[in-house]
Structure 1
């Protein structure tokens, strides 16, 4: 059994953590708030870990984070994954170029244009997905009418 770790809450803090149970926040946050409240009500780390099906190490991390950061310690920092190589201004540049120039481009040509004029290296597939997700380029869904139906 590890060393006793105990947090103490004011009534206001306890009420705030209890309100998180019904708030529109991710389930992780609700679980962490419950762990803190259980500890403040006298539960041991091992008993809390068994109750919420976590390891005692995870429970201790949550309690230490609460002691160090308070309510902000319940939320996680932004992800560590890869950051976008492009900015909104780069895509707006391409949109403007497509509107002004009379010619048509394919994704390979657009990627090359972006690389040469903005020094942003995106693969043609990735660029196509970004533009498609924005939905601002290309033909939008058209309604089927008698004029554009194939006989």
Structure 2
């Protein structure tokens, strides 16, 4: 049977954990971790905390161990794996301005070359197409409407005499 895990918090640590557990700007997992530590300091046992927080006992033990070793920095999420973005929002807005500001049209290959030349950002033509398409679907991109082409779903009304 493992020994009982119990932490003691100073007054300032207890207040800070209370702030963290009630702060809606923090991720939910960070708030839950802070709450687990507060409950442990209030002499709740690991199995009681696990059933209250609806998680495994090993999760509670792990959070307590991380607190003992690292303190507050251990409560935050670790950086996610994966490649970081090579472009910024301003780069895509630049491309949209180029498309809207010039009288000529660009294909995705030309936009890729333009972005590489002007902004020193390398994106493939395929990636530019996906980003611009996603922006248009979410409503954050500029909508292009050509006159004379009926939109699907709208039928012309017949004149009744």
Using the size of structure 1 for normalisation, the TM-score is 0.68
Number of residue-to-residue matches in the alignment: 146
**Equivalent position of 2:11 in the other structure:** 11
Quote the offset at 1:97 in angstroms: 6.0
**Equivalent position of 1:35 in the other structure:** 36
**Equivalent position of 2:21 in the other structure:** 21
For residues 93 and 111 of structure 2, the distance between their equivalents in structure 1, rounded to whole angstroms, comes to: 12
For residues 44 and 66 of structure 2, the distance between their equivalents in structure 1, rounded to whole angstroms, comes to: 18
Using the size of structure 2 for normalisation, the TM-score is 0.65
For residues 119 and 149 of structure 1, the distance between their equivalents in structure 2, rounded to whole angstroms, comes to: 36
**Equivalent position of 1:2 in the other structure:** 2
Quote the offset at 1:139 in angstroms: 5.1
Give unmatched runs, 5+ long, in structure 2. 151-155, 157-161
For residues 58 and 31 of structure 2, the distance between their equivalents in structure 1, rounded to whole angstroms, comes to: 18
RMSD of the alignment, in Å? 3.5
**Equivalent position of 1:62 in the other structure:** 63
Tell whether the 8 Å contact from 1:85 to 1:122 is kept in structure 2 after alignment.
no
Give unmatched runs, 5+ long, in structure 1. none
Tell whether the 8 Å contact from 1:90 to 1:114 is kept in structure 2 after alignment.
yes
Flag as ranges the 4+ runs of structure 1 deviating above 4 A.
Answer: 87-102, 112-119, 134-142, 147-151
Quote the offset at 1:141 in angstroms: 7.1
For residues 102 and 140 of structure 2, the distance between their equivalents in structure 1, rounded to whole angstroms, comes to: 16
46 and 137 in structure 1: CA distance in 2 versus 1, 3 angstrom threshold: closer
For residues 32 and 121 of structure 2, the distance between their equivalents in structure 1, rounded to whole angstroms, comes to: 45
Aligned ranges 1:104-115 → 2 under 5 Å: 104-111=105-112, 113-114=114-115
Worse-matched range after superposition: 103-112 or 73-82: 103-112
139 and 33 in structure 1: CA distance in 2 versus 1, 3 angstrom threshold: closer
Give the secondary-structure state (helix, strand or coil) at the position aligned to 1:2: coil
For residues 102 and 109 of structure 2, the distance between their equivalents in structure 1, rounded to whole angstroms, comes to: 17
**Equivalent position of 2:159 in the other structure:** none
